[in-house]
């Protein structure tokens, strides 16, 4: 080891950061080099001199002030990854939306809405195929309930994200699917699929829109 | 009550505030002195010290148990200190405002008033020498010499390599050696 190679090792020497091999090589060089011995002693005196700046204890009241701030802030815990991706808090808004959709279909059966859609489109001069009319009717059964429960979606769902809105829509579709299938059994496969597809599309749109409204509302309220 | 820092953080995540106070007691002195040496102003140091522990509390859910708590704690504190030093307010105040530092008790009061005075002078000289270092070298020196952190750990705190830490530590100690030699600080 040359003299210029020993210098970078000297500060690491006092921080006890030398490898066994580095330490051995340095010691071996020091045994035969008076100049580097003196240099190491200078580093040693510097290292020791730094000890003159001693620790001071923190002010005694700091602990109490800190704990009071924590108690006063009542900081909500940051959501964990599991919480952030959990669909459990979204289950009941989805079920509520499905219940609303079922209730709506009891007052206004699918056939009635389909008829109203057909009349509405005709009066505005639009002639759409039957499948599209069924799709449109289904959209209303998905869109409106999820828009209505939108403000509820933000509650109890930490780290709100569009993913949660989308999940609510998917859960709604899963919940309503058996009921819709039974109700559409007289329509024929193509029209039934159009209506249920429309319902799913409306649910996705409604859940994202509802969730966005919920987020806006919560942001405005400062939460 | 579990005793490892990382286990205490797990307890804190579960809502155990007692775990937080144990961690506070364990690190308060080291952390306060680290921040004080970094920002060189007691009132700023107190603010940043409280902010650091507040962040520990607020970010408790984000803490990854695989990481050493001490590394995480020093990372938070160092980032707060760094932001403080780089803030425009601080930069404006720096040239006209000499660092206000608390006078610390000498380690051994027995040498008498003269000895205490000499100790204070030595301390002032060391503070001045450390303050003259570039920030990137100074933080490495403080973490290594006063906090006793390993180079690997310092590298994690600063987000750099252990090799870079080694180089900065050497540069810092060499500069201090020259500074103290010039000002008669080396016995």
pLDDT in tens, A30-88: 888 999 899 899 999 999 999 988 899 998 888 888 888 888 765 455 555 666 666 67
Gap from B123 CA to chain A (nearest CA, Å): 5
Beta carbons within 10 angstroms of residue A132's beta carbon: 15
Q: What is the CA radius of gyration of chain B?
A: 18
CA torsion sign for B162, B163, B166, B168 is negative
> Cβ contact (<8 Å) for B144 and A15?
yes
**For chain B, how long is the longest CA-to-CA vector?**
55
> Cβ contact (<8 Å) for B151 and A17?
yes
- Answer whether A215's CB lies under 8 Å from A153's CB: no
Q: Which residue has the higher pLDDT, B23 or A159?
A: B23
pLDDT-based confidence at A222, cuts 50/70/90? very low
| pTM as predicted | 0.59
Per-residue pLDDT at A154 exceeds 80: no
Give me chain A's average pLDDT, please: 81
> Cβ contact (<8 Å) for B123 and A53?
yes
B54-112: per-residue pLDDT in tens?
A: 999 988 888 888 889 999 999 999 999 999 988 776 666 654 444 444 444 444 555 56
Residues B30-43 have a mean pLDDT of: 92
pLDDT-based confidence at B139, cuts 50/70/90? very high
Which residues lie below 8 Å from residue A5, measured CB to CB, with a gap of 6+? none
> Cβ contact (<8 Å) for A50 and B130?
yes
Per-residue pLDDT at A136 exceeds 50: yes
Q: Which residue has the higher pLDDT, A217 or B11?
A: B11
First to last CA, chain A: 65
- Answer whether A151's CB lies under 8 Å from A167's CB: no
- Cα–Cα distance measured from residue A148 to residue B140, given in angstroms and rounded to the nearest whole number: 57
Which residue of A7, A17, A80 is in closest CB contact with B150? Answer: A17
What's the half-sphere exposure (Cβ side, CA atoms, 13 Å) at B133?
Answer: 28
A106-129: per-residue pLDDT in tens?
A: 888 888 888 888 888 888 887 788
CB contact B128 to A (< 8 Å): no
- Cα–Cα distance measured from residue A216 to residue A151, given in angstroms and rounded to the nearest whole number: 9
B58 chain-A contacts, CB cut-off 8 A = 75, 78
Beta carbons within 10 angstroms of residue B144's beta carbon: 26
B61 chain-A contacts, CB cut-off 8 A = 77-80
CB contact B131 to A (< 8 Å): no
Residues A2-24 have a mean pLDDT of: 86
Residues 67-126 of B with CB under 8 A from A: 102, 104-107, 119, 122-123, 125-126
- Calculate what percentage of chain B has a pLDDT beyond 70: 83
A6 chain-B contacts, CB cut-off 8 A = none
Which residue of A49, A56, A70 is in closest CB contact with B185? Answer: A49
- Return the number of CB contacts < 8 Å for A and B: 122
Q: For residue A43, what is the nearest residue in chain B, using CA coordinates?
A: B177
């Amino acid at each position: 080891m040359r003299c210029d190679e020993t210098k970078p090792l000297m500060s690491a020497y006092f921080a006890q950061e030398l490898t066994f091999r580095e330490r051995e090589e340095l010691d071996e060089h020091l045994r035969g080099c008076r100049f580097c011995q003196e240099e190491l002693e200078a580093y040693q005196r510097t290292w020791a001199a730094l000890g003159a700046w001693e620790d001071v204890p923190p002010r005694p009241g700091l602990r109490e002030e800190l704990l009071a701030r924590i108690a006063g802030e009542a900081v909500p815990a940051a959501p964990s990854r599991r919480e952030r991706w959990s669909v459990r808090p979204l289950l009941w808004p989805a079920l509520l939306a499905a219940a609303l959709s079922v209730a709506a279909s009891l007052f206004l059966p699918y056939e009635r809405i389909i008829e109203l859609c057909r009349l509405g489109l005709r009066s505005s001069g639009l002639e759409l195929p039957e499948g599209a009319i069924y799709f449109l009717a289904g959209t209303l059964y998905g869109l409106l309930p999820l828009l209505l429960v939108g403000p509820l979606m933000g509650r109890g769902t930490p780290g709100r994200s569009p993913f949660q809105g989308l999940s609510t829509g998917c859960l709604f579709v899963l919940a309503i699917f058996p009921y819709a299938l039974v109700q559409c059994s007289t329509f024929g496969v193509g029209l039934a699929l159009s209506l249920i597809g429309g319902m799913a599309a409306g649910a996705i749109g409604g859940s994202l829109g509802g969730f966005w409204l919920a987020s806006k509302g919560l942001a405005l309220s400062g939460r | 009550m579990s005793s490892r820092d990382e286990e205490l953080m797990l307890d804190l995540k579960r809502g155990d505030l007692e775990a937080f106070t144990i961690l506070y007691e364990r690190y308060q002195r080291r952390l306060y002195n680290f921040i004080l040496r970094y920002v060189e102003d007691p009132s700023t140091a107190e603010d940043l010290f409280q902010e650091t522990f507040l962040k520990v509390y607020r970010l408790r859910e984000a803490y990854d148990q695989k990481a050493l708590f001490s590394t995480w704690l020093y990372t938070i504190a160092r980032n707060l200190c760094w932001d403080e030093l780089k803030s425009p307010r601080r930069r404006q105040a720096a040239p006209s405002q000499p660092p206000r530092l608390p006078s610390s008790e000498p380690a051994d009061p027995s040498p008498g008033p003269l000895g205490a005075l000499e100790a204070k002078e030595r301390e002032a000289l060391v503070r001045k020498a450390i303050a003259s270092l570039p920030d990137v070298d100074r933080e490495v020196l403080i973490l290594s010499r006063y906090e006793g952190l390993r180079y690997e750990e310092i590298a994690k705190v600063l987000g750099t390599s252990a090799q870079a830490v080694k180089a900065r530590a050497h540069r810092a100690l060499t500069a201090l050696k020259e500074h103290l030699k010039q000002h008669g600080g080396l016995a």
